[in-house]
Chains A and B, each alone.
Chain A
Amino acid sequence: MSETPQRGSVWRATAIWAVCTVVGIVLLLVLGPQLAAWHVLPAVASDRAGDIDQVLFLFTLLSIPVFALVIVFAGYSAFTWGSRLRPNAHGRPMAVSSRFQPIWVIISIVLVIFLYVYGLAFLNNVNAAPKGDVLHVNVTGEQWLWDFSYPDSNNVGTSQLELVVNKPVEFSITSIDVQHSFWIPALGIKQDAVPGETTHISATPNTIGTFPIRCAELCGLYHAYMETVVHVVSQDDFNTWIQNQEPSAPVMTPAASSLTPIKVPDMAMISDSRRAAGV
C-alpha cells in the first residue's frame, strides 16, 4: 500500500522544457539567417522563394516548443523513473484531469488554425495572377530535357532559359511524354509537366545570377540528368540575347507527331555543362 516516494517533479521538467525552447529559438535566430550562405537553403532569388523562407522560419519557430514539450517530458520520465530491473511495484494511476485534456486539444486546434490561416495568406500569393508587364515562357518537358519558347518574341525556341530581373514571369508547362516536374529551387517554384495538359506557375526573379533547374518527378532512365540552368539577367542583356535566337518551328501538334526515337542525352555533355555552370 505504501507509495515509495518518487524523485522528480513536473516543475523540474517544465523548467528543462523552457530552457530547451529558449536555446532552440536563440539558435534558430542566430543560425537561421546564415543557412543560405552555408548552402543549407537554396539561394533566394525571387519573391516566391522569399515567401518560402518566411514559412520555413515560422514553422520551425513554432515546432521548437512543441518538439521540446514531447521530448522533454517523455525523456524526463524515462531517465528519472526508468530502471533496468523489473520494478516491484506499480505506478500510481493518474486521474485523467478534466482540465488538462481540453487544454491540450484547444492549444493544438489553435496552432493548426494559426498555421492554416498563415498558409492561406501565402497560398493567395501562389494563386495570384502576375500583374503588369509579364514575360511569358512556354516550357516543354521531354525525356530527358527541357525546351523553352518565348511566345512574346515570335515563339523563339531554345534549350536555354533566360529571365529578366524584377519582371514577373509566367511559365506555361507541358510534357510530350511522361510526367516531369519543373523545379527552380532558387525561385521557389515547382510545377508538374503533365502530358496533354498545360499547367501554370509564376514568380518574379529579383537577383541576377545563374541557378539550377531540376526535374522533380521520376521520369525514367535519365531522370537524374534532366537538369539545366536559368540565367536571370537585366532587361538589356535579355533583349540582346533574344534577338540572337532563331524563331522556332511551329509548336508540334499532337496529330502531326508519331513515335520518335528516344533521345538519350550525351552523358559526358551533361556532366560538362554541370561543371561549367558551377552547380
Chain B
Amino acid sequence: MALRKLVPSYFTGAILGAIGYLAGNWYVAHFIGEGHDEAGPNFTEQGLMVGFALLLIGWLIGIGAFKYPITWLFGAKDPGHDEEMRLAGKGDGVIRYFRFTTDHKVVGIQYLVLTLIMLAFGGLGALLIRTELITPGAKAFPPSTYNTVVTMHGMLMILTTITFFIGPFGNFIVPIMIGARDMAFPRLNALSFALLVPAMAIFAFIPFLGMGNSNGTGGGVQTGWTVLGPITDQSGMGATALACAVILAGFSSILGAVNVITTIIAMRAPGMRWTRLPMTVWGIFGAALLAAIGTSSFAVDLLLILLDRLYNTSFFYAATGGNSVGAGGGNAWLSQNLFWFFGHPEVYLIVLPAFGIVLDILVVFSRKPLYGYKMAVLGILGVVVLSFLVWAHHEFTSGWAPELRFWYMATTEMISIPTGFVFLVAIGTIWRGRIWMTVPMLFALSFIWNFVIGGITGIYLSDVPADIQLHGGMFVTAHFHFTIVGGALMGFFAAVYFWFPKMTGRMMDEKLGWISFWLIQIGFNVAFLSMFIAGLQGMPRRVADYDPQFAGPNLVTSLFAYVLIAGVAIFFYNVIVSWVAGQKAEANPWHALSLEWQVPTPVPLENFEKIPVVTNGPYDYGDPAEEVAQGSAPAAAGGQVAG
C-alpha cells in the first residue's frame, strides 16, 4: 500500500526522466546521426539537447503533472473541493513533499530545501575558487576546470538567489500574510517548482561534459555566467547543458512570478489594502514584476546561442577567422544587450525582497511602527522602474554606443535615490526602538552595513571614467558580492531564522546562530574588502592565475572566505539539527503583528478557518493598549486580524 502512494511522485518522475534522457540520446545517435557524414561533431550535442527535452517530458509525466490538463481536455468534470484537497496533499504525511502537491506551504518547503541545496553547491564552488586563488600560480586545477567552476558558481548562485525569496517565502509566507487560502494558481505553483528540479538535474551534467579536455578551447563551460555570444558559441558541450538548464529555470521563475503577482493583486483578504501590505509583500511583488518582465530576454539570448551552437546559425559571430565558427554576419554586442537587459533588473530582483524582509524584521524587533511606509514603497517601486533603464552601464567599455554613456550614467546614479529611501526608513525604524537582539535582527542589521558598502561602491562604477578603470576587475566582483551576499544572502539568513518557527514548527538554535552570524559577517567583510584592494591594483576578474603583486590581498580574501564558509556551514548544521530536534515553537514566538503569526503552527491546510477581515496595518506597535509582552496567547496578540 505504501508503494501505491509513490505513484505518481518525484521518484517515478526521476525514473521516467532518466529513461527519456537516454531515449533522446539514443534516438539522435542512431536515426539522425547515422550515415550523415556532414553531420560533424555537434550530433553528440544535438543528442544531448533532445535527451534533455525528453528528460523534461518524462519527468512531467512521471510526477503526474499532465493528469488534470488531459482529463480536462477529454471532458472530465472539474475537480471538486475534496479532490482539490487531495491534490494539496491532505492526509498524506511526509510523502506530500515528494509529490506534485498544490498546497502553497508544501511548495514553499520544497523550494526552501532545494534552494538550500543549491546554495550549498554554489558555496562549494566559492570554496574551490578561493582555494585556487590562495597563492599565485594555477596549482589546484588546470585553467579549464577553474573557468568551469567559476561559471557554475556564478550561474548556480544567481539561480539560487533569484529563487530563494520568491520560492520559499513568496510561496509559504506571502499568501498567509495577505490573508489568502492559497496561491492564485496552485497547480501552476506546483509546476514552477517541478520545472526547477529537472533544470537543476540538467545543470548537474555540466561538470561531466568534456571536462577532461584541456586542449583547444577547453571542456566544461569557459564562459562565465554572462555567457557572451562568441565565447559561448565556441565553448565545450557544457554550454548546451547550461543553456537548457537556465532556460528551464527561467520558465520556472516566470511562472512563479506571474503567480505571485496575481496572488498579491487578487487574493488579498477584505480590508488588506495596498497601504496595509507588509513590506515583505511589496518587496516580493517588485521582484516578481522584474522576473516576469526581464527573464524572457535572457531566455532569448540562450536560445539564439543554442541555435548558433547546434544548428549553424550565426547570430553572434562575425566571420573574423581565428577560432571563430559559423557563417558570419552576427554581432557580439547583441548578446551583451540581451543578457544585460535581463542581467541588471535581475540583481534588483535578488535584492528587493531583502529590502522588504529586512524592514519587516527591523520593525518587529524594534517594537516600533515602520518609519515612512509610503517612502519605503516608493523606494521599492522606484527601483523597479529604474532598474530597466540602466543595463548598458555594463557596456561602458564594450564600444557599443559610446554616445549613450552619459544617459546610462544618469539613470544608474539616479537609482541611488530610491535606494536611499530604504536606508532612511530603516534607520528611522530602529531609532529609539526597544531593540531585541535576536539572530534575525543581527542579520537584518548587518544588511544595512553591507548594503551601504555595496551601494556606495556601485556609485564608483556608475561613473564612466572610474568604470573604465574598474570594469572587469576584482573591484566589480567585490562590489556585487557586497550587494548579493552582504545584502540578499544576509536577508535570506534573516528570513530563514525569522520564519523557521512558522515553517517547521521549531526554533533555530540561538547560540549556533550567534556564532555563525559573527563568522559570516567578519569573514565576509574582511574577504571582500580585501578584494576591493586587488581590484584597485588592477587584478582582472575570473582569472585562474595572477601576478605576484596581487598575492597579499588574495591570501587575505581566501583565508577569510574560509571563515565565511565555516559560518555558513554552521548555519546549515543549525538548520538540520533544529529541524529534526529543535525546541518546539509557539505560534507567535516573536510577538509580531502581521497575519502569518496569527495562525496556528503548524499552519493548517487552507490556512484560515475563516478568511480574516483586516482592520489595521501590520506595524501598529507602540499603542500601550495593545501591549502583549507578557506572553499572552497569540490570538489576543492584537495582530492584524479583527473579526
* Given A91-B621, A116-B413, A119-B462, 17 new contacts (CB under 8 A): A1-B624, A59-B459, A67-B452, A74-B448, A81-B435, A83-B437, A86-B436, A89-B627, A93-B369, A105-B417, A112-B417, A174-B320, A196-B332, A220-B234, A227-B547, A256-B321, A260-B321
Count of residues in A whose CB is under 8 Å from the partner chain: 104
Residue B300 at the chain A interface, CB threshold 8 Å: no
Residue A276 at the chain B interface, CB threshold 8 Å: no
Set of chain B residues within 8 Å of A93, measured between Cβ atoms? 368-369, 621-622
Q: Are A59 and B466 in contact (CB under 8 A)?
A: yes
Q: Are B413 and A112 in contact (CB under 8 A)?
A: yes
Q: Which of A49, A218, A224, A258 contacts B138 (CB 8 A)?
A: A224
Residue B235 at the chain A interface, CB threshold 8 Å: yes
Question: Chain B 379-416 against A: per-residue CB contact (8 Å), 1 yes, 0 no?
Answer: 00000000000000000011110100110011001101
Q: Which of B430, B459, B473, B627 contacts A77 (CB 8 A)?
A: B430
Please name the residue on chain A nearest to B373 by beta carbon.
A96
Size range of the chain B interface in the assembly: 35 or more
Residue A30 at the chain B interface, CB threshold 8 Å: no
Set of chain B residues within 8 Å of A82, measured between Cβ atoms? 435-437
Set of chain B residues within 8 Å of A142, measured between Cβ atoms? 322-323
Residue A25 at the chain B interface, CB threshold 8 Å: no
Assuming the A-B contacts A82-B437, A257-B321, A279-B549, are A91 and B368 also in contact, with contact meaning beta carbons closer than 8 angstroms in the complex? Answer: yes
- A15–B427 Cα distance when bound, in Å, is 17
Q: Which of A59, A81, A222 contacts B434 (CB 8 A)?
A: A81
Q: Which of A109, A126, A200, A221 contacts B468 (CB 8 A)?
A: A126
A residues 78-123 in Cβ contact with B at 8 Å: 78, 81-94, 96, 101, 104-105, 108-109, 112, 115-116, 119-120, 122-123
Set of chain A residues within 8 Å of B426, measured between Cβ atoms? 74
Residue A136 at the chain B interface, CB threshold 8 Å: no
Q: Are B448 and A191 in contact (CB under 8 A)?
A: no
Report the minimum CB–CB distance from B513 to chain A (whole Å): 12
- A149–B200 Cα distance when bound, in Å, is 47
Question: Chain A 206-217 against B: per-residue CB contact (8 Å), 1 yes, 0 no?
Answer: 000000101111
Residue B143 at the chain A interface, CB threshold 8 Å: yes
Set of chain A residues within 8 Å of B616, measured between Cβ atoms? none
Q: Are A181 and B624 in contact (CB under 8 A)?
A: no
Residue A42 at the chain B interface, CB threshold 8 Å: yes
**7 residue pairs from A and B, CB less than 8 Å apart:** A82-B436, A185-B538, A196-B317, A196-B319, A223-B540, A257-B321, A262-B323
Set of chain A residues within 8 Å of B468, measured between Cβ atoms? 48, 52, 126, 188-190
- A241–B471 Cα distance when bound, in Å, is 33
Q: Are B424 and A101 in contact (CB under 8 A)?
A: yes
Set of chain B residues within 8 Å of A84, measured between Cβ atoms? 437
Residue A228 at the chain B interface, CB threshold 8 Å: no
Report the minimum CB–CB distance from A8 to chain B (whole Å): 7
Q: Are B368 and A90 in contact (CB under 8 A)?
A: yes
**Residue of B235, B420, B434, B436 with highest tally of chain A CB at under 10 A:** B434
Report the minimum CB–CB distance from B629 to chain A (whole Å): 4
Stretch at the interface among B3-11, B29-37, B118-126, B224-232: B224-232
Report the minimum CB–CB distance from A184 to chain B (whole Å): 9
Residue B117 at the chain A interface, CB threshold 8 Å: no
Set of chain B residues within 8 Å of A262, measured between Cβ atoms? 215-217, 323
Assuming the A-B contacts A55-B466, A126-B464, A221-B144, are A40 and B536 also in contact, with contact meaning beta carbons closer than 8 angstroms in the complex? Answer: yes
Residue B375 at the chain A interface, CB threshold 8 Å: yes
Assuming the A-B contacts A74-B427, A195-B318, A260-B321, are A55 and B234 also in contact, with contact meaning beta carbons closer than 8 angstroms in the complex? Answer: no
Q: Are B448 and A70 in contact (CB under 8 A)?
A: yes
Set of chain B residues within 8 Å of A78, measured between Cβ atoms? 430, 435, 437, 445
Question: Chain A 40-58 against B: per-residue CB contact (8 Å), 1 yes, 0 no?
Answer: 1110000011011001100
Q: Are A112 and B414 in contact (CB under 8 A)?
A: yes
- A67–B452 Cα distance when bound, in Å, is 7
B residues 312-326 in Cβ contact with A at 8 Å: 317-325
Set of chain B residues within 8 Å of A126, measured between Cβ atoms? 464-465, 468
Set of chain B residues within 8 Å of A214, measured between Cβ atoms? 538, 540
Q: Are A216 and B321 in contact (CB under 8 A)?
A: no
Q: Which of A115, A225, A260 contacts B323 (CB 8 A)?
A: A260
**Residue of B215, B323, B542 with highest tally of chain A CB at under 10 A:** B323
B residues 112-152 in Cβ contact with A at 8 Å: 138, 143-144, 147, 150
Residue B185 at the chain A interface, CB threshold 8 Å: no
- A87–B430 Cα distance when bound, in Å, is 14
Please give me the 9 A-B residue pairs with the lowest Cβ-Cβ distance, nearest first: A196-B318, A257-B321, A199-B399, A216-B472, A185-B538, A176-B322, A91-B368, A87-B434, A224-B543
- A42–B324 Cα distance when bound, in Å, is 34
**Residue of A93, A142, A188 with highest tally of chain B CB at under 10 A:** A93
Residue A183 at the chain B interface, CB threshold 8 Å: yes
**Residue of B138, B321, B322, B420 with highest tally of chain A CB at under 10 A:** B322
Q: Are B472 and A190 in contact (CB under 8 A)?
A: yes
Set of chain A residues within 8 Å of B543, measured between Cβ atoms? 223-224
Please name the residue on chain A nearest to B142 by beta carbon.
A221
Set of chain B residues within 8 Å of A179, measured between Cβ atoms? 228, 230-231, 332
Set of chain B residues within 8 Å of A91, measured between Cβ atoms? 366-368, 432-434, 621-622
Q: Are A181 and B397 in contact (CB under 8 A)?
A: yes
Assuming the A-B contacts A112-B416, A218-B541, are A92 and B410 also in contact, with contact meaning beta carbons closer than 8 angstroms in the complex? Answer: no
Please name the residue on chain B nearest to A35 by beta carbon.
B536
Residue B333 at the chain A interface, CB threshold 8 Å: yes
Question: Chain B 628-642 against A: per-residue CB contact (8 Å), 1 yes, 0 no?
Answer: 011000000000000
Assuming the A-B contacts A91-B368, A122-B464, are A6 and B541 also in contact, with contact meaning beta carbons closer than 8 angstroms in the complex? Answer: no
Question: Chain A 59-76 against B: per-residue CB contact (8 Å), 1 yes, 0 no?
Answer: 100010011001101100
Q: Are B420 and A104 in contact (CB under 8 A)?
A: yes
Set of chain A residues within 8 Å of B608, measured between Cβ atoms? none
Assuming the A-B contacts A101-B424, A221-B144, are A185 and B432 also in contact, with contact meaning beta carbons closer than 8 angstroms in the complex? Answer: no
Set of chain A residues within 8 Å of B399, measured between Cβ atoms? 173, 191-192, 194, 197, 199-200
Set of chain B residues within 8 Å of A35, measured between Cβ atoms? 536
